[in-house]
Amino acid sequence: MKEVKIFAVLAAVFLAAFFIPFSRPTVQNAVTEGLLMVQEYAREHVLLCLIPAFFIAGAISVFVRKDSVIKLMGPKSKKPLAYGIASVSGSILAVCSCTVLPLFSGIYARGAGIGPASAFLYSGPAINVLAIIVTARVLGAKIGIARALGAVIFAVVIGLIMQLIFGRTEDKERDPDGFLSAETGPEARPLWKTSLFVAVMIGILVILNWAGADPSAGFFHAVYRIKWPLGGALLAVLAWMIVRWFKKDELREWIFSTWIFTKQIFPLLIGGVFVAGFLLGRPGQEGLVPGAWVAGLVGGNGLAATLFASVAGAFMYFATLTEVPILQGLLGSGMGQGPALALLLAGPALSLPSMLVIRQIMGTKKALVYFLLVIVMATGTGLIFGGVF
């Protein structure tokens, strides 16, 4: 099977090189847009978003006990606790659809059930407090409130449906003994130390990626003004913890685990970002697909426009907060309120790069069901919202 995949990739590269008319200006522009999008992603998201996320995922897989994850988010955990943690996590993390992937992979590998893990996967990029506030201020309070409620409800419903469909079979496949194989021996260090260590790393991830806000936003603007000193202080605390709390062999295992996540996820992300830029271009620019086509297909509040907005949003890559100015322009071009909400609910949570990685982590069947759930629920919610408002 591995050799077949390698052959398929080589065949696809050959056919693309043979048939794509690179001499045409539109194709050349699309290639340039793809490369520029990769460069933009590398400059704005890899160092401050993705690399910290890889280290957090590595730390979860090495230092966080499997039985702790199973107790909080495993298939036999209390549902209000498991889905509560998963669905609210986005308000803390405020990451994009790609940055959440190493974190999802980490908790999933440590025994989180498919339901809570899927809820976490959706909520991470979707329930972003600052993005919701900006949405309400720029696009209107109604769509801002609908986005907030829809994102929280989506996370729980998607997780419950994924658990209902795949939970029983997956539990047996991942652990035939019913999760009795979790660690039961003494901990290498107190749980509070491990929790604080991971919390500090998450704090660094959140603070260093804190987006700018209007001065009237109060707290958000105040944090943005001090994010670099605050981030530096957290890095100093993290360095102290590493020196004082961990042995050299533990740190080597952490680095190795981080590398495993990196080589599994990063190539697919970069390839997906290039393809997304090639087809759709960067925000405000055009790729191979003309922007006028997209604007023309999302007019009104009908089923076709709402479904197209959900599907297009699922394939597009949105860095945190970039979806708001894009939608502002589309609404000015005649986009309906329903399709706008559908894109807000599907777009930040999915992207072509994240789809490629999710398929590798979950498997094709689970990934397709997850994608369909996001698109169908976003479309249905957009139709209801468009019909009411």
Label residue 136 by pLDDT band (50, 70, 90): confident
**Rounded mean pLDDT of 170-186?**
54
DSSP letter at 300? Answer: B
Q: What is the band of 275 on the pLDDT scale with cuts at 50, 70, 90?
A: confident
The amino acid that residue 124 corresponds to is G
Neighbouring residues of 317: CB distance < 8 A, sequence distance ≥ 6: 37, 41, 97, 98, 272, 273, 276, 277, 351, 352, 353
Q: What is the average per-residue pLDDT within 15-19? A: 87
Q: Which residue has the higher pLDDT, 76 or 49?
A: 49
Which residues does residue 300 pair with via DSSP β-bridges, in sequence order?
A: 335
- Per the rule left: phi > 0, alpha: psi between -120 and 50, beta: everything else, 10 is alpha
Confidence of residue 179 (pLDDT cuts 50, 70, 90): very low
In the chain, what's the furthest Cα-to-Cα distance? 65
Average pLDDT, the chain: 82
307-330 burial: b if 16+ Cβ within 10 Å, else e:
bbbbbbbbbbbbbbbbbbebbeeb
Residue 73 one-letter amino acid: M
60 three-class SS: helix
**Across 74-83, 89-98, 274-283, 377-386, least confident range:** 89-98
306 and 386 Cβ atoms separated by less than 8 Å: yes
Residue 229: predicted pLDDT: 93
Domain ranges of the chain: 28-388
pLDDT of residue 85: 77
Q: What band does 235 get if pLDDT is binned at 50, 70 and 90?
A: very high
